[in-house]
Amino acid sequence: MPCRWSYPPDERYRSSDSRLNRPLVERTALHQNALTTLNSSPYNTSLVITVSKEDYLKAILEAESEGETVISATLAHWLKVSPPAVTMAVRRLKKDGLVRVNADGRVRLTAAGKKIARKLTVRHHLIERMLAEIFGMEWYKVHDEAERLEHAVSPDFEARLLAKLGRGVACPHGNLTELESPASRRRRGLVLLAHATPGGNFEVSGIYERDRHLLEFLEQRGIRPGAKVHVADRNYDQTLTLTTAAGRVALGVSAAEKVWVTVAEGKANARS
């Protein structure tokens, strides 16, 4: 009698996230420099952290820093993958001891998971700075490039980058190496542009960097890290009328909520 299981081995466990379906040997060969190894077992068996797992861990840390409650739907939106793919990935991360899932479905990093995520965010930060400071790449392009390169950087190259660029310098988007929560930014005296007082003069401190279209949109309106902005008016629909180096521009609330500013002296000079 033929076997009732007619599909290939492990087909039942395939994920719709293609990054998780590649054979471990193939993924290891392609991303040898990107893999993190942990000795989580008392028998010294090595736990290999693949590129896909790194992406999930970093996404959790980044989403938390933006003040979001991280659940499976958050990660599906953040990584642009299907909910079933997230469910399978979180299950694997939990098995590896890198995340824990609360009774309410909230996904939290363990100490081991946070260590890996922080290491990756530091590497990402250094690559963004390298692209901007050494190669002169536009600030609104470096995030996407760093996302592609961060998994291929060896520890030796990362150390060279750190020695070359130094510590304590913000990335091209104005953000610090250590991810900050909104509360932390406010303690530093920053305010969202959406909440800036009309009539005031401000300097752009940091910008949400994951949306390339938003970054290009802001660049076209003279809103970039270090730029001076005068808030002329807040309109009835909460859009802002601003004066920047690009002239008099309007900015909607959804974009203004992605820009952190600090009070500045002097008014922005509009381009003639």
Q: Is residue 146 part of a domain?
A: yes
Length of the chain: 272
Pairwise CA distance, residues 62 & 53, whole Å: 14
What is residue 177's predicted lDDT score, i.e. its pLDDT?
86
Q: What is the CATH number of the domain that holds 58?
A: 1.10.10.10
Cβ(225)–Cβ(193) below 8 Å: no
Structure-token match 């719709």, residue found? 16
Please tell me whether residues 163 and 207 are part of one structural domain: no
pLDDT band for position 112 (50/70/90)?
A: very high
Q: Is residue 150 part of a domain?
A: yes
Q: Final residue of a domain: which of 126, 152, 177? A: 177
Q: Is residue 194 part of a domain?
A: yes
Average pLDDT over residues 182-191: 93
Q: Between 166 and 18, whose confidence is greater? A: 166
pLDDT band for position 46 (50/70/90)?
A: low
Please tell me whether residues 145 and 38 are part of one structural domain: yes
pLDDT band for position 180 (50/70/90)?
A: confident
Q: Is residue 259 part of a domain?
A: yes
Pairwise CA distance, residues 206 & 13, whole Å: 42
Q: Between 120 and 5, whose confidence is greater? A: 120
- What total number of domains does the chain contain? 2
What is residue 268's predicted lDDT score, i.e. its pLDDT?
57
Please tell me whether residues 197 and 97 are part of one structural domain: no
Please tell me whether residues 116 and 169 are part of one structural domain: yes
SS (H, E, C) 243-256: EECCEEEEECHHHH
What is residue 66's predicted lDDT score, i.e. its pLDDT?
86
Q: Final residue of a domain: which of 177, 198, 222? A: 177
What is residue 266's predicted lDDT score, i.e. its pLDDT?
59
pLDDT band for position 264 (50/70/90)?
A: confident
Least confident range from 3-12, 132-141, 218-227: namely 3-12
User: What confidence tens digit (pLDDT) does each residue in 87-110 have?
Assistant: 999 999 999 999 999 999 999 999
Domain residues for the domain of 217 are 182-263
What's the mean pLDDT when you consider all of the chain? 84
Residue 243 tokens read as: 């004066």
Least confident range from 43-52, 139-148, 208-217, 219-228: namely 43-52
Cα-based angle 92, 151, 98 (whole degrees, multiple of 5): 25
User: What confidence tens digit (pLDDT) does each residue in 5-28 have?
Assistant: 443 444 333 444 444 444 333 333
Q: Final residue of a domain: which of 177, 195, 229? A: 177
What is residue 150's predicted lDDT score, i.e. its pLDDT?
92
Q: Is residue 7 part of a domain?
A: no
